[in-house]
């Protein structure tokens, strides 16, 4: 039997042991499995208590069972749910009992969602939204993923695709009606106007979106600077716990230390690095090398200094904010910047907390601009953005080539419709879908 037609099962709840665990079963054998294990079929969609038995008639667990007959189920197939006690041995016994049935096997990651997609319950953008919702750590990630799961991008894309196909039909009708090439202008002009306004509409959506797909990975902020200026003290303050060793000795931090922050719903990774200086200590040298590397990859660098001397010493691709630390010490009060030195943008005392609310506020506002989500991000992934860009390009080309011939323009319109088809998962080849679904959780 083809794996697609087999019945699949998986633990859909968290890692055992847990109070309750949910095991889902989907496929043609789901009904048989329920009636044998529970001894009867529950009323559809009604939580039903049952003592589960294996094939050997020995009890497995006192459970709650749910039955969703297909096609009105999450996957479109018959779906059963066993809500059991979440002990490892309970789950092992239940899995053994399930795997003992013919054509019933453990699910691959994302396989339930894949079946929902194949059965038309979700388009590809909605499936991606579902996966992102499961992985959402912050409020803004959750909201964006939910917008996708609810089909906000999918619905727009379907509408655009239909309008492109309508415009293309107008042009192709013109081609069919004309004998010797010349398509009547009264057919072409309205089609062109439609294509142009569509192109502008998609372009505007892209422009208004900022970098909303980056919400998935979050923003990386590196704290860098000379040794002993208080970088580790700052990361401890931001994390509100003791993640990095602080000491009066220069060269304390060598490994890169990372913390995940939730700044007003934005996911931010802050990294603390070794103080950058020339040194003979090979371990510290390696620390400095790693510090430079990570600061180069960051989206924003907080360059920390503690004296009134030079502060601007970092050149990388990312923006750099100059932060003067230890303003609680009199001698460290910032001087007027002299020739060639840069005025720090922030004055803080990492030890006492002065200036930190302002710094955090500025980070939130940076994140806000960086992710560009003020419009409510529609685009959740780089894949989606790329396909929308391709759509705009094909539409533009169709307008450019119309002078050269209507067939060429129609070809570009077909290409635009194809890009949107890919966005929705309508025209994709198997292996692209494999890659997308493989990243999902088991049990989803
Ligand atoms: N226990 C449990 N909780 C869960 C899920 C689940 O599968 N099981 N979900 C799993 O994702 C989510 C809820 N999503 C669901 C989506 C569709 C259907 C469903 O049965 N859809 C049918 C019928 C629609 C209806 O009558 O409302 C359909 O689409 O045809 C069920 C759950 C989150 N919570
Ligand atoms: N007075 C004062 N001292 C501070 C402040 N922040 C840090 N310090 C002190 O400065 C010293 C160095 O702090 P660290 O946080 O270890 O400095 P660092 O930049 O991580 O140092 P390296 O890891 O060696 O590069 C410690 O003795 C801290 O207590 C501050 O705001 N005010
Ligand atoms: Mg340190």
- Nearest residue by C-alpha to atom 30 in ligand 2: 326
* Predicted local distance difference test score (pLDDT) of residue 340: 47
pLDDT at residue 343, rounded to an integer: 57
Mark out the alpha helices in 273-329 (DSSP H runs). 282-297
C-alpha of residue 74 to centroid of ligand 1, in Å: 5
Among 414, 412, 418, 417, residue whose Cα is nearest residue 398: 412
Atom of ligand 2 nearest to the CA of 248: 27
CA of 172 to the centre of ligand 3 (A): 67
From the list 275, 242, 240, 239, the residue with the least C-alpha distance to 256 is: 275
Ligand 2: which atom is nearest the Cα of residue 229? 19
Instruction: Indicate the SS3 state at residue 252.
Output: coil
If you measure from the C-alpha of residue 335 to the centroid of ligand 1, how many angstroms do you get, rounded to a whole number?
A: 63
Kindly give the pairing relationship between strand 320-324 and strand 346-347.
Answer: parallel
Which tens digits make up the pLDDT trace of 417-429? 999 999 999 887 6
Give, to the nearest 10 degrees, the angle between helix 406-424 and helix 382-401: 170
Smallest CA-to-CA distance from 94 within 40, 23, 6 is with 23
Indicate the angle between helix axes 356-371 and 231-239, nearest 10 degrees: 70
- The CA distance from 137 to 413, in Å, is 39
Answer positive or negative: Cα dihedral of 272, 278, 284, 289. Answer: positive
Averaged pLDDT in 10-residue chunks for the chain of 444 residues: 94 96 98 97 98 94 97 97 98 98 96 95 95 94 93 95 92 72 73 94 87 89 95 97 95 94 95 93 93 91 79 70 91 51 78 96 93 74 95 96 88 95 85 81 82
> Vertex 396, ends 394 and 401: CA angle to 5°?
90
* Positions at the binding site for (6S)-5-formyl-5,6,7,8-tetrahydrofolate: 24, 81, 121, 444
* Residue with tokens 């492109």, as numbered in its chain: 164
Task: Give the model's pLDDT for residue 249.
Answer: 94
What is the structure's pLDDT at 338? 47
CA of 422 to the centre of ligand 1 (A): 25
Q: Check residue 190 and give its pLDDT.
A: 86
- Dump pLDDT digits (tens) for 151-177: 999 999 999 999 999 999 888 877 776
Q: How far apart are the first and last CA of the chain?
A: 23
Element (DSSP H or E) covering residue 390? helix 382-401
Rounded to whole angstroms, the Cα distance separating 37 from 55 reads 8
- Among protein residues, the one with the nearest Cα to ligand 2's atom 1 is 326
Q: Is 384 in the pocket of ligand 1 (CB under 6 A)?
A: no
Nearest CA to ligand 1 atom 7: 74
What are the residues facing 81 on neighbouring strands? 24, 66
Ligand 1 centroid to Cα of residue 244, in Å, is 44
What span, in angstroms and rounded, lies between the C-alpha atoms of 65 and 432?
35
> Apex CA 407: angle with CA 402 and CA 411, to 5°?
95
Closest approach atom of ligand 2 to CA 236: 15
Report the alpha-carbon distance of residue 91 to residue 94 in Å, rounded. Answer: 5
Closest to 68 in 3D by CA, of 121, 118, 26, 8 = 26
Residues touching ligand 2 (Cβ under 6 Å) are 227-233, 246-248, 250-253, 274-275, 325-326, 328-329, 349-351
Q: How many other CB atoms are found less than 10 A from the CB of residue 283?
A: 12
The helix-helix angle for 124-135 and 406-424 (nearest 10°) equals 40
pLDDT of residue 336: 52
CB atoms within 10 A of CB 247: 10
Q: What is d(CA 409, CA 392) in angstroms, rounded to the nearest whole number?
A: 14
Q: Concatenated DSSP letters for 202-263? A: HHHHHHHTTTGGGGGT-EEEEEE-STTSSHHHHHHHHHTS--S---SSTT---S-EEEEEEE
Ion ligand 3: residues, CB < 5 A: 231-232, 252-253
Q: Is 228 in the pocket of ligand 1 (CB under 6 A)?
A: no
The total number of residues shown for the chain amounts to 444
Structure tokens at 137: 């750590």
Nearest to 300 by CA among 244, 225, 389, 220: 220
pTM of the complete model: 0.86
d(CA 302, CA 346): 10
């Amino acid at each position: 039997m083809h794996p697609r037609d087999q019945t699949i099962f998986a633990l859909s709840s968290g890692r055992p042991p847990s109070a309750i665990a949910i095991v889902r079963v989907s496929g043609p054998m789901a009904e048989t499995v329920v009636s044998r294990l529970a001894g009867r079929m529950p009323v559809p969609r009604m939580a039903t208590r049952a003592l589960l038995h294996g094939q050997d008639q020995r009890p497995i667990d006192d459970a709650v069972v749910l039955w969703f007959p297909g096609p009105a189920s999450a996957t479109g197939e018959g779906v059963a749910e066993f809500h059991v006690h979440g002990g490892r041995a309970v789950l092992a016994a239940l899995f053994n009992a399930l795997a003992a049935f013919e054509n019933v096997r453990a699910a691959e990651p994302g396989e339930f969602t894949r079946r929902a997609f194949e059965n038309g319950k979700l388009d590809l953008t909605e499936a991606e939204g579902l996966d992102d919702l499961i992985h959402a750590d912050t409020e803004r990630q959750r909201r964006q993923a939910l917008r996708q799961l609810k089909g906000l991008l999918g619905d727009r894309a379907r509408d655009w695709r239909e309008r492109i196909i309508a415009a293309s039909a107008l042009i192709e009708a013109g081609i069919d009606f004309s004998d010797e090439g010349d398509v009547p202008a009264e057919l072409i002009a309205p089609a062109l106007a439609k294509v142009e306004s569509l192109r502008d509409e998609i372009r505007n959506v892209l422009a208004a979106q900022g970098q909303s797909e980056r919400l998935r990975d979050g923003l990386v902020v590196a704290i860098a600077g000379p040794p002993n200026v208080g970088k580790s003290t700052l990361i401890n303050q931001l994390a509100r716990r003791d993640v990095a060793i602080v000491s009066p000795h220069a060269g304390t931090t060598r490994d890169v230390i990372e913390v995940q922050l939730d700044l007003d719903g934005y996911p931010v990774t802050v990294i603390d690095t070794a103080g950058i200086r020339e040194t003979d200590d090979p371990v510290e040298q390696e620390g400095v090398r790693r510090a430079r590397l990570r600061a180069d990859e960051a989206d924003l660098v907080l360059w920390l200094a503690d004296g009134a001397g030079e502060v601007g010493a970092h050149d990388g691709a990312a923006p750099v904010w100059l932060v003067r630390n230890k303003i609680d010490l009199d001698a460290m009060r910032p001087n007027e910047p002299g020739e060639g030195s840069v005025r720090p943008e922030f004055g803080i005392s990492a030890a006492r907390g002065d200036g930190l609310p302002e710094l955090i506020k500025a980070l939130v506002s940076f994140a806000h601009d960086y992710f560009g989500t003020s419009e409510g991000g529609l685009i959740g992934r780089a894949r989606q953005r790329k396909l929308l860009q391709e759509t705009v390009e094909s539409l533009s080309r169709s307008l450019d080539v119309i002078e050269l011939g209507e067939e060429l323009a129609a070809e570009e319109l077909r290409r635009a419709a194809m890009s949107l088809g890919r966005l929705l998962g309508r025209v994709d080849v198997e292996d692209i879908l494999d890659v997308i679904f493989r990243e999902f959780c088991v049990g989803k």
